[in-house]
Amino acid sequence: MAGIPFGHVLALSGILVALGVACATARRNLIMILLGVEIMLNGASIAFAAAALRWQQLEGQAFVLFIIAIAAAEVSVGLALIVHLYHRTGSLDPEKFNMLK
């Protein structure tokens, strides 16, 4: 396999997952939390695609397609919920959404 070494691609995907976790846990904004989850899914997609290329198996690419579909559904449902909660409370702070208590 010519090109980028497999370890470097795994390091990139690990960095993306770590940045996504940091973004999802450190931010106090629902849109930034959603963005952090998307970054984590992209990191996992890169790892699956690299593994599929490394071992010449198509299952990794199939997982990437499923991750893309799940990410699209998650964004659409998540943004709809965020818009609804913003209209209901007037804020994007997750601490204010304790309506179920």
Cα–Cα distances in Å, from 57 out to 29, 42, 67?
A: 39, 19, 17
Helix axes 30-55, 6-26, angle to 10 degrees: 170
pLDDT in tens, 34-89: 999 999 999 999 999 999 999 999 999 999 999 999 999 999 999 999 999 899 88
Q: pTM (2 decimals)?
A: 0.87
Domains of the chain: 6-90 (1.10.287.3510)
